[in-house]
Amino acid sequence: MNLLLSAPKGHDFAEYLFALPFNLYGKAKKVDGNLCVTESEILVYIDGEIKDRYPLDAYEEYACEQLVGCSMMVGRNGDRDAKCICAFTNDSFVAFAEVCKIINHYLTAGILVHESDIDEPKCPKCGLPLDGYTECPYCASKIKTFSKLFGRLKPYAPQFAVAVGCTVLAEILNVVSPYINRILIDDYVRPQNTSHWLGFAALCGAMFVILIINTFLDWANMKASRYVSLNLGQDLRQDVFNKTLDLSMSSISKKTAGDLINRVSNDANKLQSFLTDYGKDAIVRVFSLLVVLVIMFSMNYKLALLAVVPIPFVLIIVKKVYNTIHMYYGRVWRFSNAHSKLLHDALNGIRVIKTCGTEEAEIEKYRVASEKWAKSATKAEIVWNLIWPVADFMLTIGNYLVLYFGSLMLLGRLGAFGTLTLGELTQFVSYVGMLYTPLRWLMQLPRQLADASVSASKVFEILEEHTDVRDDADCVDLDIKGDIEFNNVYFGYNIYNPVLKDVSCKIEKGKMYGIVGHSGAGKSTMINLILRLYDVTQGSVTIDGVDIRKISQKSLRSQVGVVLQETYLFEGTVLENITYAKPDATFEEVVEAAKIAHAHEFVTKLPDGYNTRVGNKGHTLSGGERQRIAIARAILHDPKIIILDEATASLDTETERQIQEGLNELCKGRTTIAIAHRLSTLSNADSLIVLDKGRLAETGTHDQLMRQKGVYYALVMAQRKTTKMKAVQPQQQSAASHPAPAPAN
């Protein structure tokens, strides 16, 4: 979001962090005002003159208040002391609210954010949205991108050299053929010289040998190229996949699954074929262009000049085509990306679509996206098909000029140009053909280059992305006992919008803790921090006294088990899903874990028992069954810390009761942290951590907190009220559906 919309008259943007115009002051008087924020104060300008100035810490909190028809920014100290800083029409509300958030974050966390990322960032060059990329793939430096791309050929340099060498040799032999042809025509065919049949046969034999060598070179080239291509593609895909799994949750969540799938498969494949086909060809084509030019000029520089007349024009066209085609293909890629995102979204949310009955709306959305993609592709093709014949025609003119003037020389009608034999003309015309082949290829290059450069930018963006949750060089593999501590933790998914504020609490090993609070209070966020899916903004989280940023992620996560509300089952058998975190577990261990999790009974009733395949997302199993598999998985994993994030929230009371037994077994002797919507399930926890709007409100046992009558008490009371209402409603409904029999007269 642009928070530097306008500086006051006579002043410069550079003086301020943020500068927003406002148009109301005092009693809704229209003014030409600017609110400017520096690192230390807020300045209120009216008509370019400073009207008020406030040190940033003059107020504890800044906020925007919406009134009737207008809004105002206020500074507050507690509930009573509030001051209007400036007022504006409602269209500026979001921008001012953003500035308030940033200043508030500065006041609480001491970090002054200089940029707002609420709006989707745009490319400064082309102005198009960055779509989660850090650099616009359409505007990234092509030279840098391609040099990185060719750098990936290094491990396959010998094979690549063989492929290039074979193609170069084949090109050289191709250059020799017209020369032999010329001797054949001039020395044997034209004079009808039959006396030296041995020489004739030798030349024909040489042509045949060249053909055989060429076939062999072609085979060797194909073999080496395929080797490079397949391995390079596999490396690229593997590297992109590895890096994707290595990225932090915050960067993953900015990208869609569809986009990541595209980068791992489509983009990597495109680069694979581009590098081996076009990369190798580029070297060979340029080489053959130079060789043929040298031969042509040494044969007859005047005719050679005629042949190269169209080249500068073709080069100009190539340059122009590149820019135009790049723009058109840029659009095609954008629409194809939008199309695949939509497709992915629809397929992922197919249950919601069906249950909401929005199939038609989705079909229409898909039709529009698909049509846009098709239309943009058609336009790009039309432009290409218009340009290509013109450029090709220009090349044909060169061919025509050589043939025309060459024939005149053959007939001796062009004294100044000299004469030519038929063999020489045939040889020259063959070389002209050889000169134009790389040029024609060069004209196709813009299309391929534009395509590959976008794919390369996308792939390298992932490969080079800075992973913000990383293992430090001095991190350790810790044998976790299970003491966890939050020390003055501040954390926000957006740095200026803290979700957890100054949270400090201790979780002792071997005990069970419940985290409770309203929805959005930051419960799952605390869990995310323990799992180090994100790093704290300020403060620290320690395990056994060691900052978790100093514990290797592998060692941390291998000792923390998680059962979530929705269990994801991988495509495979029940056995594979249970052993997911411990692939070397024996079958006996699996059965034992399944028995403890109360899963064994239903698994043995499945058609193939433990070998039953569970489909995508385990559609064939019920929610309760999936949860039991997740518990068995966690038991087998044998973690020191167990996290239950709404593990039984989506289950009915009976299933919950059954699963609870499994969970109790799982939690025995381990540090357990549970989040549960139904507070009754946490009443036997050793301690409860109560969050309120991101702050730690209270801690204690259920009984202590109930006596305290604070936030937890209010939550429990509210829930009891809802439960009672729910219990009464069905009774009323059943009374309504079964009316009392009419009294007999």
- Interface with ligand ADP by CB under 6 A: which residues? 253, 493, 499, 517, 519-525
Q: Which is nearer to ligand ADP, 192 or 519 (CB)?
A: 519
Q: Which is nearer to ligand ADP, 380 or 521 (CB)?
A: 521
DSSP 300: -
Least CB distance from residue 517 to ligand ADP, whole Å?
A: 6
Contacts of residue 305, defined as CB under 8 A and 6 or more positions apart, other chains included, come to none
| Unique residue bearing structure tokens 């799952």 | 524
Q: Which is nearer to ligand ADP, 317 or 676 (CB)?
A: 676
Asked if 65 contacts 52 with a C-beta cutoff of 8 angstroms, the reply is no
Backbone angles phi, psi at 718, to 5 degrees: -60, -40
Least CB distance from residue 263 to ligand ADP, whole Å?
A: 21
Backbone angles phi, psi at 495, to 5 degrees: -60, -30
Least CB distance from residue 486 to ligand ADP, whole Å?
A: 14
Q: Which is nearer to ligand ADP, 200 or 493 (CB)?
A: 493
Least CB distance from residue 77 to ligand ADP, whole Å?
A: 26
Neighbours of 264 (CB within 10 A): 20
Cα(284)–Cα(232) distance, integer angstroms? 20
Contacts of residue 712, defined as CB under 8 A and 6 or more positions apart, other chains included, come to 516, 679, 688, 690, 697, 698, 702, 705, 706
**C-alpha 8, offset from chain centre:** 40
Classify residue 733 as exposed, middle or buried by CB count within 10 Å of its CB (0-12, 13-18, 19+): exposed
Least CB distance from residue 529 to ligand ADP, whole Å?
A: 10
Least CB distance from residue 474 to ligand ADP, whole Å?
A: 29
DSSP 454: H
Backbone angles phi, psi at 727, to 5 degrees: -70, -35
Least CB distance from residue 500 to ligand ADP, whole Å?
A: 8
DSSP 289: H
Decide: helix, strand or coil at residue 50: strand
Q: Which is nearer to ligand ADP, 526 or 556 (CB)?
A: 526
Asked if 689 contacts 681 with a C-beta cutoff of 8 angstroms, the reply is no
Cα(269)–Cα(262) distance, integer angstroms? 10
Q: Which is nearer to ligand ADP, 452 or 499 (CB)?
A: 499
The two three-digit tokens of residue 515, written as one number: 């985290």
Least CB distance from residue 522 to ligand ADP, whole Å?
A: 4
Q: Which is nearer to ligand ADP, 231 or 248 (CB)?
A: 248
What is the DSSP secondary-structure string of 135-177?
S-TTTS-HHHHHHHHHHTTGGGHHHHHHHHHHHHHHHHHHHHH
What is the sign of the dihedral through the CA atoms of 258, 261, 262 and 263?
positive
Contacts of residue 356, defined as CB under 8 A and 6 or more positions apart, other chains included, come to none
Backbone angles phi, psi at 597, to 5 degrees: -80, 5
Least CB distance from residue 558 to ligand ADP, whole Å?
A: 24
Least CB distance from residue 110 to ligand ADP, whole Å?
A: 21
Q: Which is nearer to ligand ADP, 34 or 528 (CB)?
A: 528
Cα(313)–Cα(401) distance, integer angstroms? 15
Q: Which is nearer to ligand ADP, 81 or 117 (CB)?
A: 117
Least CB distance from residue 489 to ligand ADP, whole Å?
A: 13
Q: Which is nearer to ligand ADP, 118 or 220 (CB)?
A: 118
The two three-digit tokens of residue 392, written as one number: 């090709």
Q: Which is nearer to ligand ADP, 253 or 396 (CB)?
A: 253
